[in-house]
Amino acid sequence: MIEVAMVFDTDGGALYWHEPPGRSAARIPDSQFLWHIIWENRENLGGVAHTHPWSGYVYPSETDLTTFAAVEAGLGKRLVWPIIGETTTGFFSWDPGVDQYQQDHSAYWEYVKKRSWRENVEKLLEKSKGDYDG
Amino acid sequence: MADQDALVPVIEQPEGMARLNITYGGQQGDLPDPVPFDMRDNELKQIATESVRTGSVPGIDEVGDANFDDFVVDRFPSREDVPYNRLSLRPKTPFGASGIQDGVVLPGNSSYAHCRCGHCFDTIIVNDIDAHVEGTNPPEDAYCDRCLEAGCPDKTSAECLSTQS
């Protein structure tokens, strides 16, 4: 199993599949090219999803949270950050009411209604079945 | 007819110096003065922080609380088509577990899970998952090192709770 990320637009369509060398079951390394993709698509960018290729509840790691915040600071806009696990999915976004990233249930229901999103989640999970890509 | 070479801006750049490009708040701009190409990342971030906070980067609006702690520096040496050194300060983009080096492959009977403190969002390796309930559920004592040091298991540690925000 291996982590994969997907940059998606506000309709849930895939803009870029992020499968860089050096990723593993535990992490996806920093990527100048991923930032380039995010920046070039900033106008219609919905967010960046990534997989946690194991079963059980999904939570953002400390690395995830600081990446969310850094990218949003660079863009000057908030995004949605889905984490796709084998058995559960969590949508996370900044909640100004509590001043931290929280589960965003409204975003989840907004995207899960979209057929393109559901198909892309299946692709993400399929791509996560690969082995370490060092 | 325009000369193709004219598309490359002519920049007077002393030996060993570089242009620093900064991205922040959806805007990009170059620091007006060149900086040493081999300047350390932390020093570059400090310069960027002060410059953006004081509104002295053309193209970037003043942001009083600008913070570049989680940004990274890309370094581009001069080349034929861009004959000057460039530095770019951009947001970092990694995902995954903290403190795990690139290329680490987990043993077959291990996984990783969220620290049980429920507050720090840190991720830890759970070895020998076969010995634990429900496969990937962390064992009772599966706290990240920071939370263990802070005494977080009782959820009263200030260090642990401070990571909520």
Give the residue from B93, B122, B123, B136 with the most A CB atoms within 10 Å of its CB, the best one to mutate.
Answer: B93
pLDDT surpasses 60 at B107:
no
By Cβ distance, the residue of B27, B92, B95 closest to A27 is B95
Give the tens place of pLDDT for each residue, B132-143.
Answer: 444 445 555 667
Q: How far apart are CA A79 and CA B124, in angstroms?
A: 26
Q: Count CA atoms closer than 13 A to B48's CA, side-chain side.
A: 31
Mean pLDDT of the region A45-65: 86
Nearest chain B alpha carbon to A5: B95
Task: Give the start-to-end residue ranges of the domains of chain A.
Answer: 5-127
Please, which residues bridge with residue B114 across strands?
Answer: B123
B94:A22 CB<8 A = no
Give residue-wise pLDDT tens across range A83-109.
Answer: 998 878 889 999 999 888 988 989 998
3-state SS of chain B is CCCHHHHCCCCCCCCCEEEEEEEECCEEEECCCCEECCCCHHHHHHHHHHHHHCCCCCCCCCCCCCCCCCEEEEEECCCCCCCCCEEEEEECCCEECCCCCCCCCCCCCCEEEECCCCCCCCEEEECCHHHCCCCCCCCCCCCCHHHHHHCHHHCCCHHHHHHHC
> How many whole angstroms separate alpha carbon B115 and alpha carbon B122?
6
Chain B residues lying within 8 Å of A42, measured CB to CB: 26
Q: How crowded is residue A131: how many other Cβ atoms within 10 Å of its Cβ?
A: 10
Residues on chain A touching B113 (C-beta within 8 angstroms): 56
| pLDDT average, residue stretch A104-129 | 91
**By percentage, how much of chain A surpasses pLDDT 70?**
96
CA–CA dist A54, A56 (Å, integer): 7
What is the arithmetic mean of pLDDT over B129-158? 61
pLDDT tens track for A4-20:
999 999 999 999 999 99
User: Helix (H, G, I), strand (E, B), or coil: what is residue A115?
Assistant: helix
Of A31, A63, A99, which has the smallest distance from its Cβ to B165's Cβ?
Answer: A99
Tell me which residue in A3, A60, A134 faces B121 most closely, judged by beta carbons: A60
Mean pLDDT value of segment B19-38: 96
The pTM of this model reads 0.76
SS (H, E, C) A14-83: EEEEECCCCECCCEECCCHHHHHHHHHCCCCEEEEEEEECCCCCCCCCHHHHHHHHHHHHHHCCCCEEEE
Q: How confident is the model at residue B100 (pLDDT cuts 50, 70, 90)?
A: very low
Question: Do A65 and B95 make contact, defined as CB atoms within 8 angstroms?
Answer: no
* ipTM of predicted assembly, 2 dp: 0.94
User: Is a pLDDT exceeding 50 seen at residue B164?
Assistant: no
Contact A65, A93 (CB under 8 A): no
